């Protein structure tokens, strides 16, 4: 494993290990696929938060040390935009695996991002990765960590995990509880609409002699209620009651109505888990930012740029064997959201009379 640390003896490496079971922290799903279905596929807040960050990283203007390297990183492979796909994998799963595919001459032909839930690390006796297992249903493949020349054949980019040496930690686990609450609140609202958008009442049978409805009478009455009076289409429809029956309306208490605030709080927690300012998701009541421009600038500074640096740095380290001095970064001068910061920097540098022209050019990042 030369690319893990050149010039370092194998025996000097500490042993690595995987984390144990995560355990149950709530009544929401703990598996990755179930969390993806609940969050990204079924929750609008989580999906929009992931798309804001991933599409921001994928659409960021880039600069590279070589045109061929820039074309390789920005090219589509199998229909996927590499940087955006890797960013989404890191946010959701915490791990991104990029396979380096070479041509007959040994050069890099393309980069392809593998689905992280299909990949598992194959460690050696000390726990260091020597290969990766990729499985789709009954089909599996073993991908070596290095090629014959000692260059990486697969780049593993992972988020920080405090208790696991092999796998990174995504944002889905932290957002799972808030997603479950938000989805439950949405189902609650749907149920209210299905029941005339108001709390259910009660049919009281009181003939005065203490008798009760027979079983067949109860079932018939229940079926008639569901068929003739439940649902939004039957809202406000008058009810005809037989002798001994009376309608007693019920209302929600303020404590019962608190689910509205609970849903809003859950939406804010989802946005927090993915590092997106709630204002950009249209959540009401957020006053942490003066305007959308400030919130958008915070999104770039605190979420998009750090994630882009992690991804591009990992790819450059993996491709260093083919591109000497490989370097790819975000061209901050072309990021529209950061134009005000750039203007402020230029004004400060221009007003610094004690700097020479060469020092001013260096201060603003010009050669």
Averaged pLDDT for residues 241-265: 65
pLDDT at 70 over 70: yes
For every residue of 148-201, DSSP letters joined together read TTS-BSEEEEE---TT-SS----SHHHHHHHHHHHHHHHHHHHHHHHTTTS---
Alpha-helical runs (H) found in the chain: 32-36, 44-58, 67-74, 82-92, 172-194, 215-228, 259-273, 292-299, 305-319, 339-350, 357-363
Averaged pLDDT for residues 177-192: 83
What backbone phi and psi angles, to 5 degrees, belong to 10?
-60, -40
Task: Please tell me the predicted confidence (pLDDT) of residue 44.
Answer: 92
Question: Is residue 74 very low, low, confident or very high in pLDDT (cuts 50, 70, 90)?
Answer: very high
Averaged pLDDT for residues 298-326: 94
The pairing of strands 62-64 and 129-136 is unpaired
| pLDDT one-digit tens code per residue, 106-157 | 889 999 999 999 999 998 888 888 999 999 988 889 998 888 888 999 999 9
Question: Is residue 254 very low, low, confident or very high in pLDDT (cuts 50, 70, 90)?
Answer: low
Task: Please tell me the predicted confidence (pLDDT) of residue 259.
Answer: 64
Out of 187-191, 213-217, 330-334, 335-339, least confident range? 213-217
Give the mean pLDDT of the chain.
81
Percent of the chain clearing pLDDT 90 (strictly above):
36
Out of 23-37, 58-72, 304-318, 351-365, least confident range? 23-37
Higher pLDDT among residues 347 and 312, named by residue: 312
Question: Is residue 72 very low, low, confident or very high in pLDDT (cuts 50, 70, 90)?
Answer: very high
pLDDT at 232 over 70: no
Percent of the chain clearing pLDDT 70 (strictly above):
75
Cα diameter, the chain: 103
Task: Please tell me the predicted confidence (pLDDT) of residue 23.
Answer: 47
CB 350: neighbour CB atoms within 10 A?
A: 11
Averaged pLDDT for residues 343-361: 84
The model's pTM is 0.78
């Amino acid at each position: 494993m030369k690319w893990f640390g050149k010039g370092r003896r194998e025996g000097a490496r500490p042993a690595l290990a995987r984390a144990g079971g995560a355990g149950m922290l709530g009544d929401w799903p703990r598996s990755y696929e179930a969390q993806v279905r609940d969050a990204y596929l079924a929750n609008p807040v989580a999906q929009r938060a992931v798309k804001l960050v991933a599409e921001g990283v994928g659409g960021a203007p880039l600069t590279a040390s070589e045109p061929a390297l820039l074309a390789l990183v920005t090219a589509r492979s199998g229909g996927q935009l590499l940087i955006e796909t890797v960013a989404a994998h890191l946010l959701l799963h915490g791990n991104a695996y990029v396979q380096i595919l070479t041509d007959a001459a040994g050069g890099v032909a393309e980069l392809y991002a593998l689905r992280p839930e299909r990949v598992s690390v194959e460690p050696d006796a000390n726990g260091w990765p020597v290969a990766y297992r990729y499985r789709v249903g009954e089909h599996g493949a073993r991908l070596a960590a290095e090629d014959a020349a000692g260059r990486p054949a697969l780049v593993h980019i992972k988020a920080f995990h405090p208790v696991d040496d092999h796998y990174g930690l995504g944002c889905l686990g932290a957002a799972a509880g808030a997603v479950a609450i938000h989805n439950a609140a949405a189902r609650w609202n749907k149920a209210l609409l299905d029941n005339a958008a108001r709390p259910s009442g009660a049919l009281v049978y009181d003939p005065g002699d203490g008798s009760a409805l027979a079983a067949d009478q109860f079932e018939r009455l229940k079926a008639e209620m569901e068929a003739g009076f439940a649902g939004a289409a039957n809202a406000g429809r008058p009810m005809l009651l037989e002798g001994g029956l009376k309608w007693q309306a019920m209302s929600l208490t303020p404590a019962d109505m608190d689910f509205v605030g609970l849903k809003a709080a859950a939406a804010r927690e989802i946005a927090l888990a993915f590092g997106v300012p709630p204002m950009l998701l249209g959540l009401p009541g957020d006053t942490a930012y003066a305007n959308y421009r400030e919130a958008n600038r915070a999104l770039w500074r605190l979420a998009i740029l750090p994630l882009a640096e992690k991804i591009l740095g990992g790819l450059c380290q993996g491709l260093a064997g083919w591109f000497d001095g490989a370097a790819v970064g975000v061209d901050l001068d072309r990021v529209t959201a950061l134009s005000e910061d750039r203007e402020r920097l230029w004004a400060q540098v221009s007003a610094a009379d004690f700097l020479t022209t060469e020092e001013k050019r260096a201060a603003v990042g010009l050669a």
